[in-house]
Amino acid sequence: MTLLREHLGFDSVPASVNLCALCGSVVIFSGMMPARTVARALLIGLTFAAPGTPAYAQLPAVAVERRLAEDLALRVGDTVRLGTAPDSMRALATVGAVYEPRPDPAQITKSERHMRMHLPDLAAILGAPDRVDRFGVGLVPGTPADSAVAALERTAFGYQAHASSAIASESSQTFIVVSRFHRAIAVITIVASAVFLLCIMLLKVEERRMDAAVMRFVGVRRRTIFGALLLEAALIAVAGSMLGTGLAFAAGAATNAYYRRFFDTALVFSLITPGIVFFSVALSLGLGLAAGAAAAWRLVHTRPMVLWGRR
Amino acid sequence: MKGIAWGLKSLRRHRLRTALSLAGIAVAAAMLLDMVMLSGGIDKSFTDLLLGRGYQIRLTPKGTLPFDTEATMAGASGIVAALRRDPAIEAVGAVLGTSLYGRTADSLVTLFGYGIEPDAQSLYQLASGRDLTPGDSSGVVLSEPAARFLGAAVGDTVTLVGRLDPQTVTAGVGRRLVVRGVVRWLYDYRGQPSVGTVLPLMQRLARQPSADRASVILVKVREDAAVPGLAARLRARFPQIEVNSVAELVAHFRERLVYFRQLAYILGSMSLIVAVLLIGTLLTITVNERLGEIATLRAIGVSRATIVRQTLAEGTALTVVGSALGIMLGLFTARYLDAILTSFPGLPAAFSFFVPRADTLGFAALVLLVTGSLAGLYPAWLASRAPIAATLRAEAT
Amino acid sequence: MIPPPLLARELRKDYPMNGETVHALRGVSLRVDAGDYVAIVGPSGSGKSTLLQLLGGIDAPSGGAVEILGTRLGSLSDRELTRLRLTRLGFIFQRFHLLPVLTARENVELPMAEAGVAGRERRARARELLAYVGLDHRADHRATQLSGGEMQRVAIARALANRPALLLADEPTGELDAATGHEILALFRQLNADGTTLVVVTHDERLAAEAGRIIHMLDGTIRD
Ligand SMILES: Nc1ncnc2c1ncn2[C@@H]1O[C@H](COP(=O)(O)OP(=O)(O)OP(=O)(O)O)[C@@H](O)[C@H]1O
Ligand SMILES: [Mg+2]
């Protein structure tokens, strides 16, 4: 079984993190494409050594992503063979740690698996000593990142410097698009539900047509009938909103449970904030009451004979 | 419909209510339509894109998808030669993708370079000028954005500078090339400044560790039916290389965009439910209001079947008119939603998420029509089962 | 021998009411021959409407049997019974029960459409019938735009649409003022003279007086 490590993302380059103590806000990338990397490593899980066998005590240690460890049934202390191609699996290493990667929405749909190792070990496997894809540069507190980037761009020929914030905004572009899409879908959904709500409210009030006619016949005041109809509409709107909120939480929980299992991640997919609840309830109550009031007003201002006749 | 369509005429009795229901059904139908377009559109659009010039198999470095990374395969010419000897294969083209620079008066601009084999390329279409010819080591083709960046037109000379070598901190070799044509790269994102040269030239500019490297090899198979078999054969023959047929790439891609398909299914079903609920509620309430009328009709000898038919006809009419409005609304919103999603960074400009296809649209319309009409079943049943004498008596109160 | 349009034997109808049973009809027998004009009168609650509903096959008796032109209603399926109501019987209700969304002409055409009469013939006969009840000038008015008397005349035209063997009317003048009621009365007389068999439930003394035969009901039975 072979697995590939590709896409060494900015957040998952602990090899360079270890060496460069990446903590600042400027990162320099060699090459043109910051999100891409030339480094590839192939990894084969092996079970030719019992965990903790002294003979392998001096082997380099690697940290293996939890899902990869599960896929290959690796445990801390196991020995693995590493290489850049299936026919060059020459390097040996021990699994020093199994780690849970930080949940990253950009990674969940990719089936790739990661492992981390010390930079010299990776360089040795790749046969590219003293080469890195990028440096992380920490700035003295107070130094503006942009001016540091500009300075580096001027002096370090052959490199490109990027501020972390710029990279972050670039890589979050996908999610900006997705959230714009979600917002558009939400608008359509809100329009649909609003129409649905208006329709149901209208029907609900009109169902009372005969009752209203009878009440008018026996001399009940319009105000009283209107009040009664509105009260009924309000009760329905409140009950519906409560039910809807409950339903939303249930659906959100189901969505989260499903996608967390589906992508094997701890990410939150559906988040129902108090703001959302407030907006939805306010909208449905407002629309429901408005629709109920409009329909009730129409009803009490229709002549009772017409109400009676138009059955 | 034979006879007198009193059912349909009843829809005109409560105009506001009918209009609101139609609006609701239209929005739900639009949503359903969009979601159907989304669920099938991704596959369709991607397949069309990949099969644009008929190359059904891609060979890439192990574990990568085409142009996914900067990884390359060594010994490309050997692989290509071997493939060309295979009788099942019609054409083979190797491509190297790399980043490089173009020199303008005052600076270097970053470009994306494709090294292609002109007699077997499937990456671009000529827009103006003429194509590269095999062995043309002094010509280049540009994408529209690249031409703009470099301020060059067909016949002009441009200077391309290879990758910078970080170790020696020197710029790579510069090459002066004549712009042969302006082309449209099929897999470029909007505004991508791409340039193309013959493969050996790009290999030199890319400064790969060894010269004979390619990012992807495209294979055109004579018989479509032979593709899966050939892909399996190639996989066995080149274990160090990733072999993917278009169908498999589509499957990969689909996996990455699984979220959108699932969203499409969920929202699509919800729209359907909303439409059915609307029609069902409306008809149930109107039928309840009209029980007296219906009892009268039954008394004077109108059959249950006619009552059911007329009630279902009401549901169908609502569905048909609502869907017609919904299709217009849906096509409009799909364009809007597509514009949002196609602004994904790095997505080929030729790609779209919402693709109107006759078969899926027909399917959506059919599903809507059937379910919309079925929504009338309960009210129709209610109408046909009303006890005549008791209802008439109740009506007289 | 041609069977009579209507024959009822020992009709009983019980309604369950809060655990008790209301005996609305307690054994009513009745024969109506072709060309008869029968009026059923009696105090409120004596079972007149119930009887008419049983005779018209829109409700089933608890006991006894109804025969229309020799066919026992109890032996028919719902579909056959519906067909019989459509083609052999005509109903006229106290409160007209026209379809408000349809015009006068469409209301008259409706039973013919249901019986499968072709469109052109249907329209011709509807026009003819509306002329007969004196409403040809109102043919294209919607039912809701007509007066009570006009509505009842449309209802009569509708009842006649499929040339029924028997016309059943439940208080046809009950909702109308005296003058309008008089017009309907005249229409019934005319109908009977033209050969229609009529059974009319009424409180209207004048209407009863017109009839050839008066049946008095009391407490669910016929009182002779
Ligand atoms: N569905 C029912 N449930 C219970 N009792 C009923 C029902 N229908 C009729 N009845 C009873 O049967 C009896 C006969 O009713 P019916 O309507 O036939 O009287 P009627 O002679 O037509 O009276 P009216 O002249 O007032 O119209 C009444 O006592 C009535 O209360
Ligand atoms: Mg009565």
Give how far Cα B62 sits from Cα of A5, A40, A134, B58, Å: 11, 10, 24, 12
3-state SS string for B173-210: CEEEEEEEEEEEECCCECCCCEEEEEHHHHHHHHCCCC
What's the pLDDT score for residue B165?
A: 56
Ligand nearest to the CA of C51: 1
Contact C106 B396 (CB under 8 A): no
Which residues, 6 or more positions from B244, have their beta carbon under 8 angstroms from its beta carbon?
B57, B58, B59, B60, B65, B231, B252
Q: Which helix (H) or strand (E) holds A84?
A: none
Q: Where residue C64 falls among pLDDT bands split at 50, 70, 90?
A: very high
Nearest CA in chain B to C110: B4
Beta bridge partners of A62: A95, A117
Q: Where residue B173 falls among pLDDT bands split at 50, 70, 90?
A: low
Q: How many domains does chain C have?
A: 1
User: What residues line ligand 1, using a CB cutoff of 6 Å?
Assistant: B 390, 393; C 15, 17, 22, 24, 42, 44-50
pLDDT above 70 coverage of chain B, percent: 94
Strand ranges inside chain B, DSSP E: 57-61, 73-74, 89-103, 108-116, 124-129, 139-143, 157-161, 174-185, 194-198, 213-214, 216-221, 241-245
For residue C47, tell me if it sits in a domain.
yes
Enter the tokens of residue B239: 């274990």
Q: Rounded to 5 degrees, what angle do the CA atoms B98, B101, B104 make?
A: 155
Cβ atoms < 10 Å from Cβ of B237: 13
Measured between beta carbons, which residues in chain C are less than 8 angstroms from residue A309?
100, 144
The C-alpha of C205 sits at a distance from chain A's nearest C-alpha, in angstroms, of 29
Contact B362, B270 (CB under 8 A): no
Cβ atoms < 10 Å from Cβ of B84: 13
In the block, residue with structure tokens 């009918």: B18
Nearest to C114 among B296, B301, B396 (CB): B301
Q: Which helix (H) or strand (E) holds B64?
A: none
Domain ranges of chain B: 2-49+257-396, 63-239
Radius of gyration of chain B measured on its C-alpha atoms: 31
Contact C137, C155 (CB under 8 A): no
Cα–Cα distance measured from residue B61 to residue A85, given in angstroms and rounded to the nearest whole number: 10
Contact B141, B195 (CB under 8 A): yes
Cα–Cα distance measured from residue A108 to residue A111, given in angstroms and rounded to the nearest whole number: 7
Kindly write down the DSSP assignment for every residue of A174-238, as one continuous string.
Answer: HHHHHHHHHHHHHHHHHHHHHHHHHHHHHHHHHTTHHHHHHHHHTT--HHHHHHHHHHHHHHHHH
Residues constituting chain B: 397
What's the pLDDT score for residue C112?
A: 94
Question: How many contacts (CB atoms, under 8 Å) link B and C?
Answer: 84
Cα–Cα distance measured from residue B153 to residue B182, given in angstroms and rounded to the nearest whole number: 8
Residue among B299, B291, B393, B397 nearest C55 (CA): B299
- For residue range C5-29, what is the model confidence (pLDDT) as tens digits? 999 999 999 998 888 999 999 999 9
Which residues, 6 or more positions from C127, have their beta carbon under 8 angstroms from its beta carbon?
C105, C136, C139
Q: Where residue B210 falls among pLDDT bands split at 50, 70, 90?
A: low
> In this complex, is the C-beta atom of B1 within 8 Å of any C-beta atom belonging to chain C?
no
Identify the domain containing residue C203 by its residue range: 6-99+148-222
What's the pLDDT score for residue C141?
A: 92
Ligand 2 centroid, distance to C48 Cα (angstroms): 6
What mean pLDDT value characterizes chain B? 85
Residue C103 has pLDDT above 50, yes or no: yes
Residue B327 has pLDDT above 50, yes or no: yes
Cα–Cα distance measured from residue B101 to residue A103, given in angstroms and rounded to the nearest whole number: 36
Cα–Cα distance measured from residue B237 to residue B381, given in angstroms and rounded to the nearest whole number: 66
In the block, residue with structure tokens 């649905």: A196
The C-alpha of C57 sits at a distance from chain B's nearest C-alpha, in angstroms, of 8
For residue C123, tell me if it sits in a domain.
no
Contact B393, B335 (CB under 8 A): no
What's the pLDDT score for residue A311?
A: 41
- For residue range B17-45, what is the model confidence (pLDDT) as tens digits? 889 889 988 998 998 989 888 888 888 88
> In this complex, is the C-beta atom of A310 within 8 Å of any C-beta atom belonging to chain C?
yes
Nearest CA in chain A to B69: A36
Measured between beta carbons, which residues in chain C are less than 8 angstroms from residue B308?
none
Pick the residue whose CA is nearest to atom 2 on ligand 1. C15
Contact B4 C106 (CB under 8 A): yes
Enter the tokens of residue B32: 């359903």
Cα–Cα distance measured from residue B116 to residue B94, given in angstroms and rounded to the nearest whole number: 6
Give how far Cα A193 sits from Cα of A240, B1, B38, B133, B156, Å: 12, 34, 21, 60, 59
Q: Is A139 helix (H, G, I), strand (E, B) or coil?
A: coil
Average pLDDT over residues B370-380: 88
Nearest to A195 among B27, B336, B340 (CB): B27
Cα–Cα distance measured from residue B99 to residue B111, given in angstroms and rounded to the nearest whole number: 6
Distance separating the N- and C-terminal Cα atoms of chain C: 28
Contact A206, A299 (CB under 8 A): yes
Cα–Cα distance measured from residue A232 to residue A197, given in angstroms and rounded to the nearest whole number: 15
The C-alpha of C16 sits at a distance from chain B's nearest C-alpha, in angstroms, of 13
Measured from the Cα of C50, ligand 1's closest atom is 18
Residue ranges of chain A with per-residue pLDDT less than 70 = 1-57, 85-87, 106, 109-111, 131, 156-160, 305, 307-311
Statement: the pTM of the whole predicted model exceeds 0.80: no
Contact B110 A85 (CB under 8 A): no
Contact B106, B121 (CB under 8 A): no
Measured between beta carbons, which residues in chain B are less than 8 angstroms from residue C159?
300
CATH code of residue C40: 3.40.50.300
Residue C129 has pLDDT above 60, yes or no: yes
The C-alpha of C177 sits at a distance from chain A's nearest C-alpha, in angstroms, of 18
> In this complex, is the C-beta atom of C89 within 8 Å of any C-beta atom belonging to chain B?
yes
Ligand 2 centroid, distance to C102 Cα (angstroms): 27
What's the pLDDT score for residue B381?
A: 92
Contact A9, A35 (CB under 8 A): yes
Average pLDDT over residues B190-200: 90
Domain ranges of chain A: 2-164, 173-308
> In this complex, is the C-beta atom of B4 within 8 Å of any C-beta atom belonging to chain C?
yes
Residue of C97, C108, C154 to mutate when probing chain B, most B C-beta within 10 A: C97
Ligand nearest to the CA of C93: 2
Enter the tokens of residue B313: 């006809």
3-state SS string for A15-63: HHHHHHCCCCCEEEEECCCCCCCCCCEEEEECCCCCCCCHHHCCCCEEE
For residue C71, tell me if it sits in a domain.
yes
